[in-house]
Amino acid sequence: MSLDLASKLDTRIRIERKVVTRDPQYGTEQVNWTEFACVWAEVKDILPSKAERLADSMQIGRRPARIRIRYLAGLAADMRVIIETRVHQIISGPAILGRRDAIEFMVEELSSEGAAP
């Protein structure tokens, strides 16, 4: 990894993977998230940093960002990323950069608030 990229890894993120368990008595599925990795990353908001749309009388705000980390085996698109207290879903990638020097992927933080009718 180039020294230039290493100096840009200034944000600590937590990557979590989904664990689905089935209740033996009722047969219902329970979804839990468990930590996959905690790594340093370069996080860049994508401009425009906020996009909003209206869906079923609810205001939906999207906040996409591009994340680069050192190469991490096993990272998959069905995982999620926690940056500080904000939860992001992976929407694109992960793409391997160089000869397994780094990984880049896109995430999106979703927030919703009810719109007044």
Task: List pLDDT tens digits, range 19-46.
Answer: 999 888 888 888 999 999 999 999 998 8
Q: Which domains does the chain have, with CATH numbers?
A: 3-114 (2.40.10.270)
> What's the gap between Cα 52 and its chain centre?
19
Reported confidence tier of residue 71, pLDDT bands at 50, 70, 90: very high
Contacts of 45 (CB under 8 A, 6+ apart): 63, 64, 65
The one-character DSSP state at 49 is S
- pTM for this prediction: 0.77
Percent of the chain with pLDDT over 70: 77
Q: What is the pLDDT of residue 64?
A: 86
